[in-house]
Amino acid sequence: MFTSWKSLAAVAVGLGSFVSQANCETPEHPELTWISEDPTLPKVVIYNARGTILSASNYSRLDNVNYGSGPPVTVDQIIGNVSEVLKLAQLAVVSFPVSGGSAGLNSSLFLNITQYANRHLCTEGSDIAGGIMFHGTNTLEETAFGVDLTLNCSKPFVATGAMRPDTYISPDGRSNFFQAVATAISPAARDRGGLIAFNDRITSIYYSTKTNANTPDTFKALEQGNVGAFLGGQPYFYYTAPSYPNHRPHFDVTNTTELPSVIILYGHPNRGLRCLAHLYEQGIPTVSVTRSVTGTGAPGTTEGPVFYATYLGGPQARIMLQLAINAGLTLDEIRDLFESPLRDAIYAPAPNNEWYY
**Which positions are catalytic?**
52
Is residue 238 a contact partner of residue 228, using CB atoms and an 8 Å limit?
Answer: yes
Spatial distance between the Cα atoms of 291 and 275, rounded to a whole number of angstroms: 17
Question: Exposed/middle/buried for 314, CB within 10 Å: 0-12, 13-18, 19+?
Answer: middle
What are the angstrom distances between the C-alpha of 34 and each of 14, 23, 82, 195, 302? 10, 5, 16, 23, 56
Is residue 123 a contact partner of residue 148, using CB atoms and an 8 Å limit?
Answer: no
Spatial distance between the Cα atoms of 82 and 222, rounded to a whole number of angstroms: 30
Phi, psi dihedral angles at 41 (to 5 degrees): -75, 155
Give me Rg for the CA atoms of the chain: 21
Spatial distance between the Cα atoms of 311 and 177, rounded to a whole number of angstroms: 29
Phi, psi dihedral angles at 75 (to 5 degrees): -65, -40
The secondary structure of 58-112, three-state, reads: CCCCCCCCCHHHCCCCCHHHHHHHCHHHHHCCEEEEEECCCCCCHHHCCHHHHHH
